[in-house]
Chains A and B, each alone.
Chain A
């Protein structure tokens, strides 16, 4: 392994040396929504004249791709997507350390994200966990409006709640980790067991539960609140809930890929993406996350973060591979196998 990492470093040095000669290109891996990615790519191209080639894939897919390409990296910068895979990439040395001059303009949580990963990633936006429900279906089934996490475990919601499978979705893993921090490990698992009785399906993708709720295929979906807001703004009968007990959150992140062929362009993009102007682009594409630059504006439709009780989410602990594996295994063995 040592020899490999040594080779990696020398290859990295070599790449940066050759990269300088052709600094007018950028291969941009994007894990946010399509139109936002497109807008970021075009705006950066307009701002700097650097030719951007953008690929949009979910954060899990992008992580898989970067890992598969690690011996011969093709991408330069990876922007967007939930923080966990970025942290994992940092842990595995797939991304490069960089300290941007823009740092002092950022919220403390964005910098904390960077520090927990040895400066190999940084926060670009954040979003709180919560849930949304389909108002029509709730009324049709004569159900009371839920307001807290505890409400979701009530027997009358049996077969009405949907969440993603924490094994396949970062959103659901954030939910699991949030319960651990909110209720403590033992009570947290008790909560997951009670919730399990009401779940009609563990979806594969993180935002699927609220999309199903929007289409009327499901009543309540546990998701990030900005995803639920998006459904409501798109015209679906969805109401967003910030659970009364408090909740966890994600930090959408950005990383430079280790061995990037266009390192200079990657750094330019990194600095630019942390600026207030770049982060304000989110307003144009219905992205309701909270930007990490203190000077950037948040959409008026976005969930008001100051009114949400946020827990002090321990990204370092719950982002580490070991803790993740342990919790997922415990969930697999003790929760998912229970009869419903």
Chain B
């Protein structure tokens, strides 16, 4: 089968991309139009009006002549059509054409901007251009994709990755989008670390900011304050360990105990991630703050003097543990379920005690999950912004320092960039420590062979403390959420406790009028925008994340480590930095998307993609390669294998990626606050505005509504995608499903 395909001289995929390139160049508007999803341009002077004209029409009218060389790159691939894939000329033509087109596209995009030449030397060399160009639009986008995929087909034809077009194209595509939306903005931002006050570049500036005592000071050992960097590091390590341990506890309770209310527990653990930022912090203050109900109770009952103990490390630690334990749980549940019972059964047959089985078989097999959970907790804590802002007290951490270096009274981009670098170093170090710990061992337990055991229960000595801990934590989470709901239905939180629904009415009132419903509540605008953006971003995030995970676990290619690093990078960088760097990078051509909904979608995809990647990797490393191999041997190509074999087995990972990215898109704040515009305001930035304005009731009512909306979305997704059945008995009475 495979030999047959490579001997054909018609290449449907190639033909498709050649046509796409022509459509992009000659039919669609080349430059960006203000409203991406409106099609007014069709009736408004298209195709001759300069704003809406396709590149072909522009050149024909003698405008934007610098686009002309791309025609050559569009024509050249035609010469490859009649040739065999094995013909060396076929590969050469495609690589040449693709590289020329794509390279030229980038070159002209960066060289010529809205004020003509972007580089002073170019203006000096070639004289004033007398023309300018705006950001790329549909046409340019499709044309660029065409060049890219023509190029990757050339590479595949040369024999890279066994000539697998799907794999080479995926690698190429992921590299390009990650470069464009992660590396490019970050590089733009980080160069700011070396810029002196008068605009020059200097290493000294960087060094003086980097070795500042405020970053690395050890004052806390002698009663003063420690540096921000050390604070962040200490907090993140604590949070990483605690969330991983609690996540494991919950995963064990759900999969390996006779506990009856597993569903309830599962739902409860999902709650904190669907909670908008600030809300947990506010609830904690209401409980444990100086005038919190618990504090006042203890003060009245036992005469304990109320203190501000919550503000600082303890408060942030509690809030982050509440918020990130569910992430650890989501990562670990897949892994704990995925550990094949046959191994455990084998150990039991060999007369190992339950405890021995758990310690020497189950736990070591969960290592990839534990490591990933720790890594996520660590990074999340490092990048968290909302909780330290509300509960930080005098315990400064990097993420808030970065925010205030940029928006504070001392507008200092250089300092922000240096702090961002430190943050990045920490997260990368954690990433490599994780790799080192996992080593080169194999954790594969699900293979193509029959596997129909049932997980044994935990040893009793373990199950009692685990259950107790899970119950305690669940009760605590429950109380925090009750407080939140209570806060949304009282007149003025903490002062006037009369019950009222007025906050919901202000936010979400609507009237039935002629011709439909009038959404008169104050929150509707941002609510619909948020839903729309999150719904667009979630599936895209899952797709990009899972394809990347597939490439990382199933394919070997040169530069794989750098590739993995690149895909994880955006997660390690706090949202604040992403926000500012996106504005710096995408406010000017060639990619001009600030003020649109697209920039929000893009920022969500690349911020949340790493979770999809991690979840995918964790699940895929448990699926035996023999499954793919047998599929490939039976004549399927890699795309078919991915779709028919891997994807169905990955349902939990897909669900995790979808749910997580949707929810994160609805609750993210730090990057969003820089990227929202008048037209695209998001729920979280609206809520912060209300909190700033003391409208706690409205803010919490809105947050509560968001929680319910997200909960229903999560449940619906779970219903639609369903749970995987990895061919395992569900209970003793039923046989293999």
A residues neighboring B (CB under 8 Å): 1, 3, 7, 10-11, 27-28, 33-35, 53-58, 60-61, 63-65, 67-69, 71-72, 74, 84-85, 88, 137, 159, 165-170, 172-173, 200-202, 204-205, 207, 211, 214-218, 230-231, 234-237, 324-325, 328, 337, 339
Task: With A159-B308, A205-B692, A214-B694 given, name 20 new contacts (CB 8 A).
Answer: A10-B115, A11-B115, A57-B673, A67-B411, A68-B584, A69-B583, A69-B594, A71-B588, A74-B595, A85-B409, A137-B290, A165-B404, A201-B308, A204-B389, A217-B289, A234-B492, A235-B492, A328-B409, A328-B410, A339-B223
Q: Is the CB of B678 within 8 A of A34?
A: no
Q: Is the CB of B291 within 8 A of A33?
A: no
**Would you give the 0/1 interface string for B213-248, flagging 1 where the beta carbon is closer than 8 Å to chain A?**
000000100011000000000000000000000000
Q: Is the CB of A201 within 8 A of B407?
A: no
Query: With A and B bound together, what is the CA distance between A7 and B392 in angstroms?
Result: 44
Is B102 in contact with chain A by the CB < 8 A criterion? no
Query: With A and B bound together, what is the CA distance between A111 and B311 in angstroms?
Result: 43
Q: CB < 8 Å: which of B199, B289, B587, B689 contacts A74?
A: B587
Contacts of B224 in A (CB 8 A): 337, 339
Query: With A and B bound together, what is the CA distance between A262 and B430 in angstroms?
Result: 49
Q: Is the CB of A167 within 8 A of B291?
A: no
**Would you give the 0/1 interface string for B271-297, flagging 1 where the beta carbon is closer than 8 Å to chain A?**
000000000000001000111000000
Query: With A and B bound together, what is the CA distance between A220 and B493 in angstroms?
Result: 20
Q: CB < 8 Å: which of B406, B408, B692, B694 contacts A234?
A: B694
Contacts of B494 in A (CB 8 A): 215-216
Query: With A and B bound together, what is the CA distance between A175 and B690 in angstroms?
Result: 25
Query: With A and B bound together, what is the CA distance between A172 and B673 in angstroms?
Result: 23
Q: CB < 8 Å: which of B114, B290, B496, B678 contacts A235?
A: B496
Contacts of B588 in A (CB 8 A): 71-72
Contacts of B681 in A (CB 8 A): 55
Contacts of A10 in B (CB 8 A): 115
Number of A-B contacts defined by CB within 8 Å: 136
Is B561 in contact with chain A by the CB < 8 A criterion? no
Contacts of A72 in B (CB 8 A): 114, 587-588, 592
What are 24 A-B residue pairs whose CB atoms fall within 8 Å in the complex?
Answer: A33-B693, A53-B678, A53-B679, A55-B677, A61-B673, A64-B407, A68-B583, A68-B584, A69-B587, A72-B587, A72-B588, A74-B595, A137-B290, A167-B408, A167-B409, A170-B409, A200-B308, A205-B692, A207-B692, A215-B285, A216-B289, A217-B290, A218-B290, A235-B492
CB of A278 to closest CB in B, whole Å: 19
Q: Which 6 A-B pairs have the closest CB atoms?
A: A216-B291, A53-B678, A168-B408, A60-B407, A168-B404, A68-B583
Known: A60-B408, A71-B588. Contact between A54 and B115, CB under 8 A? no
**Would you give the 0/1 interface string for B379-392, flagging 1 where the beta carbon is closer than 8 Å to chain A?**
00000000001001
Query: With A and B bound together, what is the CA distance between A53 and B290 in angstroms?
Result: 41
Among residues of A, the one whose C-beta sits closest to the C-beta of B408 is A168
Q: CB < 8 Å: which of A166, A214, A234 contacts B409?
A: A166
Contacts of A205 in B (CB 8 A): 692
Q: Is the CB of B114 within 8 A of A27?
A: no
Contacts of B694 in A (CB 8 A): 211, 214, 230-231, 234
Contacts of B592 in A (CB 8 A): 72
Query: With A and B bound together, what is the CA distance between A7 and B592 in angstroms?
Result: 20
Q: Is the CB of A28 within 8 A of B411?
A: no
Known: A7-B115, A35-B693, A217-B308. Contact between A64 and B580, CB under 8 A? yes
CB of B22 to closest CB in A, whole Å: 31
Contacts of B496 in A (CB 8 A): 235
| Interface secondary structure of B, over-half rule | loop
**Would you give the 0/1 interface string for B675-692, flagging 1 where the beta carbon is closer than 8 Å to chain A?**
011110100000001101
Q: Is the CB of B692 within 8 A of A33?
A: yes
Is B495 in contact with chain A by the CB < 8 A criterion? yes
Contacts of A69 in B (CB 8 A): 583, 587, 594
Among residues of A, the one whose C-beta sits closest to the C-beta of B282 is A215
CB of A108 to closest CB in B, whole Å: 26
CB of B644 to closest CB in A, whole Å: 47
CB of A158 to closest CB in B, whole Å: 12
Contacts of B208 in A (CB 8 A): none
Is B400 in contact with chain A by the CB < 8 A criterion? yes
Among residues of B, the one whose C-beta sits closest to the C-beta of A54 is B678
Is B393 in contact with chain A by the CB < 8 A criterion? yes
Contacts of B199 in A (CB 8 A): 1
Contacts of A68 in B (CB 8 A): 580, 583-584, 587, 674
Contacts of A165 in B (CB 8 A): 404
Query: With A and B bound together, what is the CA distance between A210 and B563 in angstroms?
Result: 49
Q: Is the CB of A61 within 8 A of B692?
A: no
Query: With A and B bound together, what is the CA distance between A170 and B224 in angstroms?
Result: 26
Contacts of A137 in B (CB 8 A): 290-291
Among residues of B, the one whose C-beta sits closest to the C-beta of A70 is B587
Residue in B114, B291, B674, B694 whose Cβ sees the most chain A Cβ within 10 Å: B694
Interface residues of B in 181-229 (CB under 8 A from A): 199, 219, 223-224
Q: Is the CB of B407 within 8 A of A63?
A: yes
Query: With A and B bound together, what is the CA distance between A184 and B407 in angstroms?
Result: 29
Is B733 in contact with chain A by the CB < 8 A criterion? no
Query: With A and B bound together, what is the CA distance between A8 and B580 in angstroms?
Result: 22
Is B394 in contact with chain A by the CB < 8 A criterion? yes
Among residues of A, the one whose C-beta sits closest to the C-beta of B307 is A159
CB of B464 to closest CB in A, whole Å: 39
Q: Is the CB of A324 within 8 A of B492?
A: no
Contacts of A328 in B (CB 8 A): 409-410
Is B120 in contact with chain A by the CB < 8 A criterion? yes
Query: With A and B bound together, what is the CA distance between A66 and B676 in angstroms?
Result: 14
Q: Is the CB of A56 within 8 A of B492?
A: no
Contacts of A57 in B (CB 8 A): 673
CB of A127 to closest CB in B, whole Å: 16
CB of A195 to closest CB in B, whole Å: 15
Q: Is the CB of B492 within 8 A of A27?
A: no
Query: With A and B bound together, what is the CA distance between A212 and B394 in angstroms?
Result: 14
Residue in B308, B409, B492 whose Cβ sees the most chain A Cβ within 10 Å: B409
Contacts of A166 in B (CB 8 A): 409
CB of B323 to closest CB in A, whole Å: 20
Q: CB < 8 Å: which of B311, B411, B679, B689 contacts A201?
A: B311
CB of B214 to closest CB in A, whole Å: 8
Query: With A and B bound together, what is the CA distance between A80 and B393 in angstroms?
Result: 28
Q: Is the CB of A58 within 8 A of B690?
A: no
Contacts of B120 in A (CB 8 A): 3
Contacts of B114 in A (CB 8 A): 11, 71-72
Contacts of B678 in A (CB 8 A): 27-28, 53-55
Query: With A and B bound together, what is the CA distance between A11 and B118 in angstroms?
Result: 13
Q: Is the CB of B291 within 8 A of A61?
A: no
Q: Is the CB of B583 within 8 A of A204?
A: no
CB of A247 to closest CB in B, whole Å: 19
Known: A56-B689, A217-B285, A235-B496. Contact between A167 and B584, CB under 8 A? no
Contacts of B289 in A (CB 8 A): 215-217
CB of B576 to closest CB in A, whole Å: 10
Q: Is the CB of B679 within 8 A of A65?
A: no
Known: A74-B595, A217-B285. Contact between A64 and B411, CB under 8 A? yes
CB of B296 to closest CB in A, whole Å: 9
Contacts of B394 in A (CB 8 A): 201-202
Q: Is the CB of B595 within 8 A of A236?
A: no
Contacts of A84 in B (CB 8 A): 409
Query: With A and B bound together, what is the CA distance between A64 and B581 in angstroms?
Result: 11
Q: Is the CB of B492 within 8 A of A64?
A: no
Q: Is the CB of B311 within 8 A of A34?
A: no
Contacts of A169 in B (CB 8 A): 408-409
Q: CB < 8 Å: which of A67, A159, A172, A217 contacts B291?
A: A217
Interface residues of B in 541-580 (CB under 8 A from A): 580
Contacts of B493 in A (CB 8 A): 215
Interface residues of B in 482-502 (CB under 8 A from A): 492-496
Query: With A and B bound together, what is the CA distance between A28 and B400 in angstroms?
Result: 27
CB of A22 to closest CB in B, whole Å: 11
Among residues of B, the one whose C-beta sits closest to the C-beta of A199 is B394
Query: With A and B bound together, what is the CA distance between A322 and B580 in angstroms?
Result: 25
